[in-house]
Structure 1
Amino acid sequence: MDIFVQQIINGLVLGSMYALVALGYTMVYGIISLINFAHGEILMVGALTSWTVVQALADSGLPGW
């Protein structure tokens, strides 16, 4: 049951990230009628930065998550 609850939370978090990116695309397209693909790039920069911080914390002995 513990794994099921964790997977539900993981799905909600991932779905909310997809919804935020889709909302950004929709807002930009609605305003300037042009699709701007920079949203995905910004999302990946944030993901890679946080992964780097987690890896640095794991090497220093501090808890990463």
Structure 2
Amino acid sequence: MDEVTQDQAPKGTPMTEGYCSWHNRIAKDVERIQLSEAGSGGRVHYACPPCIGVFKLTPYSGQ
């Protein structure tokens, strides 16, 4: 399967539209998600607001 890539938004800025890594579809206002290095596989992951709430995800804070 081809990997979906997208431009990076400024830190902490919701994007208009993007790919949600949790429900595997395009969604509005996706945010970059903070994952541990071991859990991310070296990829940047994004999630939509409903998935952030359901899966209790932590948006990337840029620390």
Point out the structure with the larger helix share. Answer: 1
TM-score by length of 1: 0.17
TM-score by length of 2: 0.18
Considering Cα pairs closer than 8 Å and 6+ residues apart, tell me whether 1 or 2 has the greater RCO.
Answer: 2
Larger radius of gyration between Structure 1 and Structure 2: 1
